[in-house]
């Protein structure tokens, strides 16, 4: 640690005081690191067993071209995902372009005109607003005659299942839950809380489909949402389950009938999941999944550390450094747009790619406010790699996530803090 702190000072001109505060934070986080390591072990066993039980072999790493008929690599990858998530079926495709796309296929495939969707965790993640059609966007759920209601979380950030039950009508077909807070200053949803909510809902309405937006949640706990009673989950491969190695893609996992309907939405009626060339996707997706428990563990440790470090520097953080994690996101309330920009400049200087770039706020497709992002990543936009982002709006919260290695997170934290303090050489 001493020698590394000296190097950081020499090479990046980080104040010694900051390195000392980080060292203190790290000592205090030791217990949480140990808990994380236990979860990593459990998830590593799960993933390894999934690969062995499905007879994973060299041949499965090869991809297909054209239609992709009979692509045994793709099919084995999907069986492995299904095993890991304890689901009947899974779609894991490079043709799923993002997490939003995976979720949109799940929603659009499983809702019909006249039916209704309820969000049980308040306003969903920004990019889903246009999928739902909050402003009646073309092709959205609303425009196709699907109604939408939402139930805000309680003041403590918990699911208000009583109010969800009040809102349910005979037209309610699907209730969705978002595990991660997204760009909201709220606690993420633990598997235990999710389980309780789903059990209560299903006790009265067993036929309602429970969908969980699992983005950023995979492998943070020892169990996943299907084990808590969810019917279908979706996520992105350039977040947790891709382990930093998947080059693109998304997944949907869950009940067989629901996955088939999502597949029809993804490709076309009559085609479903039978087509879709995997090109060179399989190796990265599989090796990435193998690495994911470890990589997510590094990110979770980094999140505990970031929370304690920035708390010691005087900023409100969410979750608190000692809190149980169920996603990899760390919110830091920086309190001004200037500090958001400085944080991102500093973090960018710690990235392996584009370290000389200067992040600027920008309006991105699917988002409503200007967003600032830092992340010089090997995979474009990957947020299992060390990255930070946040919409430029009061109270100016930045959301930090990822880190393929804890060592890298430490460098990122110091450079971000240094830049806020007045600049790096
Ligand atoms: C990232 C994310 C999504 C989907 O985002 P993409 O950028 O489209 O992959 C959806 N919901 C949550 C909670 C997310 O964090």
What is the residue-wise DSSP string for 107-121?
HHHH--TT-EEEETT
Q: Is the pLDDT of residue 10 over 70?
A: yes
Return the pLDDT at 243.
98
Let me know if 328 is exposed, middle or buried by CB neighbors in 10 A (0-12, 13-18, 19+): buried
Helix (H), strand (E) at residue 412: helix 406-421
CA separation (Å) from 290 to 53, 91, 148, 227, 241?
14, 17, 38, 20, 9
* 313: Cα separation from own chain's centroid: 27
Structure tokens at 216: 């950023």
39 ligand 1 Cβ < 6 A: no
Q: Is the pTM of this model over 0.85?
A: yes
The CA distance from 40 to 52, in Å, is 18
What is the crossing angle of helices 2-12 and 406-421, to 10°? 50
| Best of 125, 176, 382 for a ligand 1 pocket test (most atoms within 8 Å of beta carbon) | 125
> Which atom of ligand 1 lies nearest, measured to the CA of 181?
13
Return the pLDDT at 5.
87
The CA distance from 415 to 16, in Å, is 12
Return the pLDDT at 187.
86
Return the pLDDT at 2.
79
Q: 424 C-alpha vs ligand 1 centroid, how far in Å? A: 32
| Residue 117: band (very low, low, confident or very high) from pLDDT cuts 50, 70, 90 | very high
Structure tokens at 228: 């808590």
- The rounded mean pLDDT for the chain is 96
Query: Which residue in this structure is represented by tokens 């909201």?
Result: 184
282 ligand 1 Cβ < 6 A: no
Q: Is the pLDDT of residue 367 over 90?
A: no
Return the pLDDT at 1.
52
387 ligand 1 Cβ < 6 A: no
319 ligand 1 Cβ < 6 A: no
Q: Is the pLDDT of residue 425 over 50?
A: no
The CA distance from 339 to 344, in Å, is 8
Q: Is the pLDDT of residue 196 over 90?
A: yes
| Residue 364: band (very low, low, confident or very high) from pLDDT cuts 50, 70, 90 | confident
The answer to whether 68 and 208 have CB atoms below 8 angstroms apart is no
Return the CA Rg of the chain.
21
CA separation (Å) from 260 to 128, 264, 403?
21, 6, 34
* pLDDT tens track for 216-248: 999 999 999 999 999 999 999 999 999 999 999
81 ligand 1 Cβ < 6 A: no
| Residue 113: band (very low, low, confident or very high) from pLDDT cuts 50, 70, 90 | very high
Higher pLDDT, 250 or 422: 250
The CA distance from 211 to 231, in Å, is 6
The answer to whether 401 and 393 have CB atoms below 8 angstroms apart is no
Angle at 110 between CA 108 and CA 112, to 5 degrees: 75
* 359: Cα separation from own chain's centroid: 22
| Residue 423: band (very low, low, confident or very high) from pLDDT cuts 50, 70, 90 | low
Q: Is the pLDDT of residue 89 over 70?
A: yes
| Dihedral, CA of residue 148, residue 154, residue 158 and residue 160, to nearest 10 | -50
Q: Is the pLDDT of residue 14 over 60?
A: yes
Q: Is the pLDDT of residue 170 over 60?
A: yes
* pLDDT tens track for 335-356: 999 999 999 999 999 999 999 9
């Amino acid at each position: 640690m001493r020698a590394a702190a000296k190097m950081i000072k020499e090479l990046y001109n980080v104040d010694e005081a900051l390195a000392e505060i980080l060292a203190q934070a790290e000592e205090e986080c030791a217990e949480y690191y140990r808990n994380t390591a236990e979860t990593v072990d459990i998830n590593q066993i799960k993933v390894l067993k999934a690969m062995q039980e499905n007879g994973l072999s060299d041949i499965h790493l090869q991809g297909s071209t054209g239609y992709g008929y009979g692509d045994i690599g793709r099919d084995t990858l999907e069986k492995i995902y299904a095993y890991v998530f304890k689901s009947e079926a899974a779609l894991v495709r490079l043709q799923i372009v993002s997490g939003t796309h995976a979720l949109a296929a799940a929603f659009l495939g499983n809702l019909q005109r006249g039916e209704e969707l309820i969000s049980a965790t308040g306003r969903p993640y920004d990019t889903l607003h246009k999928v739902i059609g909050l402003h009646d966007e073309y092709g959205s759920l609303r425009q196709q005659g699907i109604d939408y209601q939402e139930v805000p979380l309680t003041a403590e950030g918990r699911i208000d299942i009583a109010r969800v039950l009040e809102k349910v009508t005979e037209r309610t077909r699907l209730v969705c839950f978002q595990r991660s807070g997204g760009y909201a200053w709220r606690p993420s949803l633990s598997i235990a809380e999710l389980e309780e909510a789903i059990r209560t809902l299903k006790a009265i309405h067993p036929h309602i489909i429970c969908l969980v937006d699992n983005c950023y949640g995979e492998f943070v706990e020892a169990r996943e949402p299907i084990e808590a009673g969810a019917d279908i989950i979706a996520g992105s491969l350039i977040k947790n389950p891709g382990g930093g190695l998947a080059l693109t893609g998304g997944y949907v996992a869950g009940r067989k009938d629901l996955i088939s309907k999502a597949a029809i939405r993804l490709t076309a009626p009559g085609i479903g999941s039978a087509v879709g060339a995997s090109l060179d996707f399989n190796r990265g997706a599989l090796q990435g999944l193998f690495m994911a428990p470890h990589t997510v563990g590094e990110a979770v440790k980094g999140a505990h550390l970031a929370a304690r470090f920035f708390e010691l520097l005087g900023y409100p953080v969410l979750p608190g450094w000692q809190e149980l994690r169920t996603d990899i996101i760390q919110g830091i309330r920086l309190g001004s747009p200037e500090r958001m920009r400085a944080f991102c400049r500093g973090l960018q200087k710690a990235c392996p790619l584009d370290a000389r770039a200067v992040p600027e706020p920008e309006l991105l497709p699917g988002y409503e406010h200007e967003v600032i992002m830092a992340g010089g990543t090997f995979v474009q936009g990957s947020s299992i790699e060390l990255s930070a982002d946040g919409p430029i709006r009061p109270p100016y919260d930045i959301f930090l996530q990822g880190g393929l290695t804890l060592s890298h997170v430490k460098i990122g934290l110091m450079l971000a803090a240094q830049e806020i303090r007045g600049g790096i050489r």
